[in-house]
Amino acid sequence: MEIISVRFVLLALGAVFIFYFLKNKFKTLFLAVLSCAFIATFNYLLLAYVLVYALINYYIGIKLFESNRKTVYYRIGLIFNVLQLALLKYADFLLDPIITLIDSNIEIANLARLITPIGISYFTLQGIGYIINIKLGVEKVERRFANFLVYITFFPKFLSGPVERSNHFLPQLDNYKTFDNSRIIEGIRIALFGCFKKVAIANQLAPIIIEAYGNVSGSDGALLFTVIFIQPLYLYFDFSGYTDIAVGVSKMFGINILPNFNRPFFAENVTSFWRKFHMSLSIWFSDYVFKPTMFKRRKWGNLASIYALLLTWSLFGIWHGAGWNFMVLGIIQAAAVIYEFFTKKWRMQFFSILPNPLRAWLGRLITYSFYGASLVFFFAPDLKAALTFFSRLNIWNGYSFTSNQETVFFVTFLFGSAFMLVELFQNDYPDIAGRIDSWWRGKKQVYRVFRWSLYFFLMSIIIVLSNEVQSFIYFQF
């Protein structure tokens, strides 16, 4: 089922209507059945697999909590989660080439093609996080399978996150909120803006990205430089659009899921950028990989930081996909963070001579440019294509956009600039942003007319532009 579709809208609104007529003791079961039905629209085998996955992690969690052999069950839990991810996501890249060396015709990747493991990268991290939390004793074991199943499968976040934390999500299932009209409207508003980001901005930028990476060896340097500039915006509006839809729909059920973005393009260095972009994932890796590794290797001094960062970001890159290009993507981020860590004092002294606004915008420009260039390894089909991309940046053959492309980009630029302007005020001028928000939420008739006029405008644009459905980028992970 496509997220940007009438079917999904009817499913969400109908489910919310039924949800608030149910007694609290039935609501979790309803969400579990609803989420399973949503998964089944993609593949019945996927649903069967997710149910088995959830049951195994549920059982391991209970045994880990009750047994005296906690280390054994802890290791079983980690091995199971990592192994099933490797089998279903990395068979083409890692396992099948090894099997080929022993002259076997077995292709493990066929299993992944059969199951279609959508969302596996997300629910695997949630399963691992839950097992680690139980081992560390930071939360109680979940004894109701329906609750645990909803934690794994909750349909607004199942496809592309955010990566939830069990100690954040599960307690909410024990304290459902009563019906609140204002919360429903707020959820719809957030989801509406998310749909607009995806349809009116991301989808309109997609053709130029597809054109460039579809024929890297024949692309003009002007096109490739344009791609470097727009691909961060393309990814941001696509992914934050999905996140807004997930957050909005969840809010309609009275469930708050973790945020994923906090004005990332106003970060002044790469380190702070990753505290603002895909936050649920970067914080997960920080808590469950970086910090434990740092603690374990603390006697190494500064080498511990380098080792922990390289390990964390390498895994971060591999999480995104099975390919050397994703490995390089992670290592590049690690190199940037390591550089900023060891040069912080020098950089602060050097840039202190600049006025604050100039220093801030220079940092933002450098960070954005770095991220845009590094995304070549994200979007390129493989490492060879990524290297070819960079090698052709100096080849200019007079590429020019069509008049239709120019019109689309201009309108898309206006839409994107409106969102960026809002984020600018929220980040740099919070007092003004607060006054604008108070005006926006005003109860006078003129304010309501303005709000609903904007909402109808957004819905009209979505309807006009949603003829061609394009999947969200992070669905592939």
Query: According to the model, what pLDDT value does residue 105 have?
Result: 59
Judged against a pLDDT cut of 60, whether residue 97 lies above it is answered with: no
pLDDT band at 101 (very low <50, low <70, confident <90, very high): low
Q: Which of 55, 418, 396 is nearest to 225 (CA)?
A: 396
Q: Is the peptide bond before 162 cis (omega within 30 degrees of 0)?
A: yes
Judged against a pLDDT cut of 80, whether residue 125 lies above it is answered with: yes
More confident residue, 404 or 472: 404
Judged against a pLDDT cut of 70, whether residue 104 lies above it is answered with: no
- Residues with Cβ within 8 Å of 112's Cβ and at least 6 positions away in sequence, in order, are 87, 88, 89, 91, 92
Q: Which of 233-242, 441-450, 467-476 has the lowest mean pLDDT?
A: 467-476
Judged against a pLDDT cut of 80, whether residue 110 lies above it is answered with: no
The values of phi and psi at residue 389, to 5°, are -55, -50
pLDDT in tens, 240-259: 999 999 999 999 999 999 99
Judged against a pLDDT cut of 70, whether residue 471 lies above it is answered with: no
The two structure tokens encoding residue 271? 């380190």
Whole-angstrom Cα distance, residue 328 to residue 322?
11
pLDDT band at 302 (very low <50, low <70, confident <90, very high): confident
Q: Cα dihedral sign for 291, 293, 294, 298?
A: positive
- Cβ distance 133 to 167 under 8 Å? yes
Whole-angstrom Cα distance, residue 31 to residue 25?
11
Judged against a pLDDT cut of 90, whether residue 235 lies above it is answered with: yes
The two structure tokens encoding residue 194? 């998310």
Query: According to the model, what pLDDT value does residue 131 have?
Result: 97
Judged against a pLDDT cut of 70, whether residue 260 lies above it is answered with: yes
How many CB atoms lie under 10 A from the CB of residue 176? Answer: 18
Whole-angstrom Cα distance, residue 246 to residue 243?
5
Query: According to the model, what pLDDT value does residue 99 have?
Result: 60
% of the chain at pLDDT higher than 90: 68
Query: According to the model, what pLDDT value does residue 117 have?
Result: 79
More confident residue, 94 or 212: 212
pLDDT in tens, 152-191: 999 999 998 899 999 999 999 999 989 999 999 999 999 9
pLDDT in tens, 191-204: 999 999 999 999 99
Whole-angstrom Cα distance, residue 460 to residue 37?
30
Whole-angstrom Cα distance, residue 334 to residue 307?
10
Of the CA atoms within 13 Å of residue 450, those in its CB half-sphere come to 9
How many CB atoms lie under 10 A from the CB of residue 274? Answer: 23
pLDDT band at 126 (very low <50, low <70, confident <90, very high): very high
pLDDT band at 447 (very low <50, low <70, confident <90, very high): confident
Query: According to the model, what pLDDT value does residue 472 have?
Result: 64
Whole-angstrom Cα distance, residue 283 to residue 122?
13
Q: What is the mean pLDDT of residues 33-59?
A: 95
Whole-angstrom Cα distance, residue 405 to residue 205?
10
pTM over 0.85: yes
Whole-angstrom Cα distance, residue 340 to residue 331?
14
pLDDT in tens, 420-435: 999 999 999 999 999 9
